[in-house]
Amino acid sequence: MTPPSIDAHVRLDPHPTHPSAVMATLTGTQAHIPHVGLEAANWDAVAENTLVLARIDHDEPHWAAKAVRELIAEGITVEIAPWLREAIDVDWALATDSKPWSTLAQLREIFAEAQTIFDGIRHGRLLIHAHALDSGTTVAVGTYLDSGKSVHLHGEDRRRQVEHIFDSPARALVAFERLHGATMRPGPAPMTDTERAAAEARTSLSAPPTEPEPPGPGPETVPAYAADPGDHDALLDEFLDAHGEWSKWRTWSDETTHAIHESQTLRIERIHDAPAHETAWTIAAYETPVSDRTWHLTATSTTPAPVLQELLHHLADGDGLDTAVGGAVDEKSVTAATKPLLEAGWTHTVDGRWIRWTNPSKDAGVLFDAFAAQKPNSALTTWTIWAGPSVDHPTWALHTSPHAPASMLAGLATELAHGTGTRRPLHPGTTQRCTRTPVATTPPVRSSLPVQTRKR
């Protein structure tokens, strides 16, 4: 049956300032008809007869294609810009062959669920009571106001999922506090970069100023913990070039580099292009080449170059092989590891199982978990070395297992207390903050050392 003719025309174009967002321009005497339909499909009006589709899953072409089919079925004329048609056509082509692309379909289902959660939050249907940081990602507890059901959420952006469902807010909050009381904060978490970009696309079509900005000042000398990360791949290459006792491998996927000491008791895993708040480095030590890990340390990709250099220097020292053994965590080893901090005037406080050392400006610190230290086979972090707004939302962080060598920790503490590095100043009007990087469609491989590799 031929649909009735409607005097409405819809043109779809890419958003002028946000690459994945889609803009719809409506004309005709009955333009209000597609306007209502697009708003019902989660498009936002940004001007008269102009709507924008901006999603946190960056899957706008797929959903724009769905809107096109529905509009055409209603008898509405639709015009699609060439770039957008190409993106839509590619997506439709992928969808026609379901077997090879079943993984894409599964990912799209996960991302759509995350988008639904995000839309519930921004439209006020899902009230977030509190949030916390859990293993480098955000968790939250909230209540759906229409149903009264409460949920625990895990993850950020298009990886956010419902983890648990509760019949009442009280039960959900009690369980959330039991799980995440140490890092729990009231209300929703700060917006991620992806959420902020989507919000900007939904509110403005203005292009950013094109006037060239005046050149900024050159790099400045800052404490080591506040320095720029520099080029981590270059740092690893320089380290390996200078120390022939280390061998280098790279995985077939070319996403990860492994370095192994000739003794096979010290190993480094470097994940290239890891998101800023996720693990980019893992250093592991073994008593023998075939034993379980004695201790390990992880570092995020935003770790300052001077801190990372100090860590690599320790591995290259003459007693580097001794670091494979580690040592028991006791009062003596904790004192030895943190002595440089106290000598530099850092504040020392005890809060239950937590012992904290914080610098005078309170933008860097060391956190020791006395409970985790007594459980050598636990997955709990014993030492956290961080810098940034707070230990819960750091710009960068190192985490270690219980038996990390006190000499290595003392070297890192000395670098924090007395080391310096360079940082390029931010442009006027911007502020230093913790970066949250969107997760790629295919997440980076997160393997545990050792893995099967090929020599490059």
Higher pLDDT, 99 or 373: 373
Q: Are 22 and 53 in contact (CB under 8 A)?
A: yes
Q: Are 375 and 382 in contact (CB under 8 A)?
A: no
Based on the domain organization, do 386 and 251 belong to the same domain?
A: yes
Q: Is residue 22 one of the residues assigned to a domain?
A: yes
Q: How many Cβ atoms are within 10 Å of 189's Cβ, its own excluded?
A: 19
**pLDDT (mean) for 161-187:** 94
Helices 232-242 and 305-316 pack at an angle, to 10 degrees, of 20
Based on the domain organization, do 277 and 365 belong to the same domain?
A: yes
- Domain boundary at 168, 203, 238, which? 203
Counting Cα atoms < 13 Å in the Cβ hemisphere of 427 gives 4
Q: Are 338 and 313 in contact (CB under 8 A)?
A: no
Whether the per-residue pLDDT at 330 is higher than 90: the answer is no
Predicted pLDDT of residue 321: 46
Q: Is residue 1 one of the residues assigned to a domain?
A: no
Answer whether 0.85 is exceeded by the pTM: no
pLDDT in tens, 393-413: 999 999 999 889 999 999 999
User: Using 50, 70 and 90 to split pLDDT, how confident is the model at 326?
Assistant: very low
Based on the domain organization, do 363 and 231 belong to the same domain?
A: yes
Based on the domain organization, do 186 and 330 belong to the same domain?
A: no
User: Using 50, 70 and 90 to split pLDDT, how confident is the model at 322?
Assistant: very low
Count up the domains in the chain and report the number: 3
Give pairs for 79-86: CB < 8 Å, separation 24+.
79/9, 79/10, 79/11, 79/12, 80/11, 80/12, 81/11, 81/12, 81/13, 81/14, 83/14, 84/12, 84/13, 84/14, 84/22
Predicted pLDDT of residue 325: 46
Lowest mean pLDDT among 99-108, 199-208, 443-452: 443-452
Tokens of 358: 């914080």
Predicted pLDDT of residue 207: 54
Predicted pLDDT of residue 141: 96
Predicted pLDDT of residue 441: 32
**pLDDT (mean) for 339-365:** 94
Q: Is residue 215 one of the residues assigned to a domain?
A: no
Q: Is residue 68 one of the residues assigned to a domain?
A: yes
Higher pLDDT, 425 or 50: 50
**pLDDT (mean) for 428-453:** 36
Q: Are 283 and 297 in contact (CB under 8 A)?
A: yes
Helices 406-418 and 305-316 pack at an angle, to 10 degrees, of 150
Instruction: Round the average pLDDT of the chain to a whole number and report it.
Output: 83
Compute the C-alpha angle 330/336/339, nearest 5°.
130
Predicted pLDDT of residue 29: 93
Based on the domain organization, do 171 and 149 belong to the same domain?
A: yes
Based on the domain organization, do 164 and 260 belong to the same domain?
A: no
Predicted pLDDT of residue 210: 55
Q: Is residue 373 one of the residues assigned to a domain?
A: yes
Based on the domain organization, do 294 and 438 belong to the same domain?
A: yes
- Domain boundary at 60, 95, 130, which? 95
Whether the per-residue pLDDT at 219 is higher than 90: the answer is no
Tokens of 221: 């000398």
**Owning domain of residue 304:** 221-455
User: Using 50, 70 and 90 to split pLDDT, how confident is the model at 120?
Assistant: very high
Whether the per-residue pLDDT at 311 is higher than 70: the answer is yes
Q: What is the CA radius of gyration of the chain?
A: 26
* 3 state SS for 371-416: HHHCCCCCCCCCEEEEECCCCCCCCEEEEECCCCCHHHHHHHHHHH
Whether the per-residue pLDDT at 174 is higher than 90: the answer is yes
CA distance 321 to 319: 5
Based on the domain organization, do 115 and 80 belong to the same domain?
A: no
First to last CA, the chain: 63
In a 3-state reduction of DSSP, which class is residue 210? coil
User: Using 50, 70 and 90 to split pLDDT, how confident is the model at 96?
Assistant: very low
Whether the per-residue pLDDT at 15 is higher than 60: the answer is yes
Based on the domain organization, do 79 and 131 belong to the same domain?
A: no
Q: Is residue 119 one of the residues assigned to a domain?
A: yes
Tokens of 447: 């393997």
For residue 320, which of 420, 407, 249, 409 has the smallest C-alpha distance? 407
Helices 60-73 and 32-40 pack at an angle, to 10 degrees, of 140
Whether the per-residue pLDDT at 344 is higher than 90: the answer is yes
51-60, 104-113, 288-297, 355-364: which is most confident: 355-364
User: Using 50, 70 and 90 to split pLDDT, how confident is the model at 246?
Assistant: very high
Predicted pLDDT of residue 277: 81
Based on the domain organization, do 285 and 389 belong to the same domain?
A: yes
- Domain boundary at 79, 95, 111, which? 95
Q: Percent of the chain scored above 90 by pLDDT? A: 52
Predicted pLDDT of residue 252: 64
Which CATH number goes with the domain that contains 71?
3.30.780
Q: Is residue 71 one of the residues assigned to a domain?
A: yes
**pLDDT (mean) for 346-370:** 94
Predicted pLDDT of residue 253: 65
Based on the domain organization, do 296 and 429 belong to the same domain?
A: yes
H and E: helices and strands count for the chain: 11, 23
In a 3-state reduction of DSSP, which class is residue 187? coil
Whether the per-residue pLDDT at 421 is higher than 70: the answer is yes
Based on the domain organization, do 384 and 238 belong to the same domain?
A: yes
CA distance 161 to 163: 6
Q: Is residue 171 one of the residues assigned to a domain?
A: yes
